[in-house]
Structure 1
Amino acid sequence: MQASRSASAKASTNSRRRSPPPRQGPRNDAGNGRRVVANIALSLDGHYDGPGNPTNMAWVMPYAITDVARDHMTSLRESATTALLGRVNAEGFLGFWPTVIDMEGADARDVGFAKWLVDTDKVVFSSTLGEAPWQRTTIVDRPAAEVVADLKATEGGDILVLSSASVIKALLASDQIDRLAITLFPVFLGGGPRLFDDGLPAGQWTLASQAAGDHGTLALVYDRVR
């Protein structure tokens, strides 16, 4: 966490190119229930994990604490009332983020996300967890497409998939993602799994917002054209 920034860093921040924040508006262009938003970080060569060790996210850390990444995450969670996670991500997110709430010197945006994650309704996809070890959490062992179809029929804000590639891939395959939020980090991982597999439904996306930040980080938000 950064307590202060130099004058040159501030000048750099002020000079970055940004587009307006993505519109909130209806949950999706078709007006068909709640909007499904998928958030994920990708390397410049298109991977969401490196080769060999999927739990090693050291490549993310220099970029995840930039202003553009923090602002990006804040804008996504502000309109979301349900979080979707796979088991591995749930254990990582919910093992770390609640500790940030009382962390001395923590960035206010990180604290805001941590509080939101604790307080919001969470759905965790798992075939091994018997019951939820976290508050406001439902464990499901069903196809993501079915779960999301049920959630879209309920009242609420956005349904936000938090960096769980297996869930995002399933929803891309069923064409149920309305907004795709990508934080692009300027690093080559040289291997590992990719988010976009061959055989996804053909379709058009429109750029809703873009922002560039420190170290070449890009925050990109695309809306599905239906």
Structure 2
Amino acid sequence: MRKITAGLFISADGVVESPEQWHFKYFDDELGAAVGALLGASDTVLMGRTTYDVFAGAWPARELEGGEEAGMAKAIGDTRKIVVSHQDLSFTWRNSEQLKGDLLDGVRALKAEDGGPIGMSGSVSVVRQLLAAGLLDELHLFVHPVARGRGMRLFDDTADPIELTLLSSEAFTGGTLHLVYGPASA
């Protein structure tokens, strides 16, 4: 059975909304290596439509520019990308396809396929649903040393409790904590 691993940038007060507006101040080589390792270990990336739009709007251009991020951009471009959306989508970025039908049934089928790890970056609504259904194997939280005060949080007031087990933790010199959680049964 394939493993699904998700990574999220999160503020100290639990905000996950619009990290592009606040997290780059804390992005350093340690954080970059951890995020790169997370996605680099995956042969498939699962993401929601909004995250896909952000990625597709940035990574193909970075690959073409041939700069410092070109290698990572090519690797993401070469990776199978599965996008979750209720709307019919068309894609211009290579190796992209849509998960059709029920999310949880589709993810169960993905996990049963032959292949390596399935990675996720962002896609909070998908992460929430997979956690609640017990389908997420690891949740990597990159907790940044900032309290946002406002914004969408990983869990809202209506979320049912989800028991987790801390699998590992690491403090980066820039102040970000890398916390890895698994299901409580792990």
TM-score (norm 1): 0.74
Partner of 1:4: none
For this pair of structures, how many residues does the alignment match?
184
TM-score (norm 2): 0.88
The ranges of structure 1 where at least 4 consecutive aligned residues each deviate by more than 4 angstroms after the TM superposition are none
CA deviation map 1:126-184 (0-9, x unaligned): 22343222211111343322221010110111111121101101111111111111111
Gaps of 5+ in 1: 1-32
Equivalent of 1:210, from 164, 170, 174?
A: 170
Partner of 2:103: 144
Partner of 1:40: 8
Q: Secondary structure at the match of 2:155?
A: coil
Q: What is the RMSD of the two structures over their aligned residues, measured on CA atoms?
A: 2.0
Equivalent residues in 2 for 1:107-186, closer than 5 Å: 110-186=69-145
**1:77 corresponds to which letter in structure 2?**
L
Q: Secondary structure at the match of 1:90?
A: helix
**Alpha-carbon distance between aligned partners in 1 of 2:71 and 2:48, rounded to the nearest angstrom:** 22
Gaps of 5+ in 2: none
Shift of 1:69: 1.4
Q: Secondary structure at the match of 1:138?
A: strand
**Alpha-carbon distance between aligned partners in 2 of 1:157 and 1:80, rounded to the nearest angstrom:** 6
Q: Secondary structure at the match of 2:130?
A: helix
Conserved 8 A contact 1:175-1:201: no
**2:111 corresponds to which letter in structure 1?**
K
Q: Secondary structure at the match of 1:80?
A: coil
**Alpha-carbon distance between aligned partners in 2 of 1:80 and 1:114, rounded to the nearest angstrom:** 14
**1:73 pairs with 2:35:** yes
